[in-house]
Amino acid sequence: MVKQTIVPPTRILIINPNSDDSMTRLILESARRCASPDTRVDCVSTPEAPIFIENYLDELQCGPGMVDIGRRESGDYDAFIVACHSDVNLDVLREIVDKPVVGIGQASMHAAAMLGHRFSVIQTTDHSVPMKEDLVRRYGLWEKCASVRAVVGNSDSLLGAVAEAAQRAVGEDGAEVIVLGCAGLSGLEKEIERRVGVPVVDGVACAVVLVEGLVRCGLTTSKVRKYRPE
């Protein structure tokens, strides 16, 4: 077996679209847990963004800060991740940045599609279910999606509520894989997997390994039409 060539470390910047620094720390922790040893991962909060992204106005309001980060850091990183499971402003970043940009929603749902017959996405609010359904359709993954479900909230903890919704998705909707529908759930995947008995996919982890891979393959966003800046 031949020895691998030494390559310089891959530098990944994760953009947390909201301004909650504790969320940023949580995301970074998850990211580093699964990153390759030769990868440098950083995560930044988005200045002047809302503290939590839950509707269309929030998505808009975190946009300018995200664009500033993308432009400023474009030269210093090899790849970018949008760490909100609704993949907010992902298209804008792809347009203004020359490096690969992936959303944690997209990364997790594409991975889930390869792990079983169909996946279900668990949302933390009922309000966000239609938005996630739109995203699934937009990615062309509707046929692989058993359901998008919100936590019901009878449980005394977020972990319990997500596990219960996941259990119902498996039992009632035919899901074979669970996708965590919010960056804030990152880190719960292994415990839910233990409780429910099917693979549980966290978008932060998936996006990190996916962009590492894209960088290693020398692949980036096509600039031929859709994402051509002008």
Number of residues that bind a copy of itself (CB under 8 A): 89
**DSSP assignment of 44-69:** EEPTT--SS--SHHHHHHTHHHHHHH
Q: Is 118 in the site for a copy of itself (CB under 8 A)?
A: yes
Task: Please state the closest distance from residue 67 (CB atom) to a copy of itself, in A.
Answer: 7
Compare residues 161 and 211 and give the one whose CB is closer to a copy of itself.
211
Q: For the chain, first and last CA: distance in Å?
A: 47
Residue from 43, 97, 46 nearest 70 by CA: 97
Q: Is 179 in the site for a copy of itself (CB under 8 A)?
A: no
Q: Is 219 in the site for a copy of itself (CB under 8 A)?
A: yes
**DSSP assignment of 132-170:** HHHHHHHTT-GGGEEEEEE----SSSHHHHHHHHHHHHH
Q: Which two tokens stand for residue 191?
A: 């415990």
Residues 45 to 64 in contact with a copy of itself, rule: CB under 8 A: 54-57, 59-60, 63-64
Task: Please state the closest distance from residue 200 (CB atom) to a copy of itself, in A.
Answer: 8
Are 218 and 191 spatial neighbours (Cβ–Cβ below 8 Å)?
no
Task: Please state the closest distance from residue 188 (CB atom) to a copy of itself, in A.
Answer: 13
Using the structure block, give the residue that is written with the tokens 């039992």.
171
Compare residues 80 and 156 and give the one whose CB is closer to a copy of itself.
80
Residues 63 to 92 in contact with a copy of itself, rule: CB under 8 A: 63-64, 67, 89, 91-92
Task: Please state the closest distance from residue 121 (CB atom) to a copy of itself, in A.
Answer: 14
Q: Is 198 in the site for a copy of itself (CB under 8 A)?
A: yes
Phi, psi torsion values for 106, nearest 5 degrees: -60, -50
Phi, psi torsion values for 170, nearest 5 degrees: -70, -45
Task: Please state the closest distance from residue 15 (CB atom) to a copy of itself, in A.
Answer: 14
Task: Give me the torsion for CA of 37, 42, 43, 47, rounded to 10°.
Answer: 180
User: Pick from 75, 76, 143, 157: which binds a copy of itself (CB under 8 A)?
Assistant: 143
Task: Please state the closest distance from residue 157 (CB atom) to a copy of itself, in A.
Answer: 22
Binding segment toward a copy of itself, per CB under 8 A, in 19-27, 78-86, 155-163, 191-199: 191-199
Task: Please state the closest distance from residue 174 (CB atom) to a copy of itself, in A.
Answer: 7
Are 74 and 14 spatial neighbours (Cβ–Cβ below 8 Å)?
no
